[in-house]
Amino acid sequence: MRSVLFAPGNQPDVISKLPRTNPVAAVIDLEDSTPASHKAESRQIAFEATEVITKSCPLLIRINGIDTEWFEDDVAEVLSPSLLGVLVPKLASSEDVERAVSALDSAGLTDLSIMAGVETVQGVMNAVEVTKHPRIKWCYFGAEDYVADLGGVRRSDNLEVLVARSQVAQAARITGISALDMVVTDFRDSERFKREAGEARSLGYAGKLCIHPDQVGLANELFRPSDEEIEWANRIVSEYSKALSEGKAAIQVDGEMVDEPVFRRAKALLEQ
């Protein structure tokens, strides 16, 4: 899930173009990017688009939150088994997750996987609790909603979300799912996107939410190990494996001290 590309639910022309840049998955967004007055119209658009898009691209739909007036109709009228999954925003507790799962089960969608939106203060504090349910296969950190809920101020250096961002990635690691990093709202700023993708990968994120097609290629590239990283990892694994056979558990490779944690990091990188 290196790249997940969003399109507003009330813009069929944009939705039809979702597969063009080869995102790992696409999302039709019925929540934040769809005005309240267009919610009903967007359901029909999304339902009709699902059959077409799923033929060429894995598709998810982001429905409205469990506490909104649109949630039940979204579940009943839009979702189908052909989807890769459903994004449920602003999940803040295990009770929230159970409510979402119960609604899906009641609609006959017992096998539909969930991507959990962790984007409130309570959600971040309860991130492990939110992401441990077996129906949750992925999660994402939503910085804009989180800062709004916090009453904070967004910064270009992201220092205000560093702790929360880290907590979500750590929770995903504990529960064994993939975490996706926050959006870059200025889609023209490719340098910021590259910087944030580097930060996110360092924190343990598997990919990034994209709101513009130009961001997809960047995400696909930046969340993949580089040739230099792969070369380094191969060298570390080879040299350390040889050292272990000789009864050594700490060696130096090209001036770098290598022991068990470095060896495990190299193996994990190659597994990617």
| Bridge partners for 210 per DSSP | 5
Give me the amino acid identity at 127. A
- pLDDT-derived band at 160 (thresholds 50, 70, 90) equals very high
- pLDDT-derived band at 219 (thresholds 50, 70, 90) equals very high
- pLDDT-derived band at 266 (thresholds 50, 70, 90) equals confident
- Mean predicted confidence (pLDDT) in 160-187: 97
Please give the model's pTM, rounded to 2 decimal places.
Answer: 0.89
Which among 92, 198, 68, 99 has a CA at the least distance from the CA of 142? 92
Select the CATH number that applies to the domain covering 3-222 from these four: 2.40.37.10, 3.40.50.10470, 3.20.20.60, 2.60.40.2130. Answer: 3.20.20.60
Q: Over the stretch 23-48, which tens digit does the pLDDT of each residue have?
A: 999 999 999 999 999 999 999 999 99
- pLDDT-derived band at 249 (thresholds 50, 70, 90) equals confident
Q: What is the reported pLDDT for 22? A: 96
Percent of the chain with pLDDT over 90: 82
| Residues in contact with 160: Cβ distance below 8 Å, sequence separation at least 6, in sequence order | 147, 150, 152, 153, 154
Structure tokens at 14: 């944009």
Is pLDDT of 7 > 80?
A: yes
Q: Where are the domains of the chain?
A: 3-222, 227-271
- Mean predicted confidence (pLDDT) in 184-195: 95
| Bridge partners for 242 per DSSP | none
Q: Give 242's Cβ-side CA count (13 Å radius).
A: 8
Percent of the chain with pLDDT over 70: 100
Distance CA 24, CA 83 (A): 14
Distance CA 253, CA 57 (A): 43
Contact predicate 33/8, CB 8 Å: yes
Instruction: Give how far the C-alpha of residue 27 lies from the chain's centroid of Cα atoms, to the nearest Å.
Output: 11
- Residue that is written with structure tokens 């429905």 in the block: 63
- Mean predicted confidence (pLDDT) in 89-96: 98
Higher model confidence: residue 233 or residue 161? 161
Mean pLDDT (the chain, rounded)? 95
- Mean predicted confidence (pLDDT) in 14-30: 97
Is pLDDT of 88 > 90?
A: yes
Distance CA 56, CA 49 (A): 12
Element (H, E) at 247: none
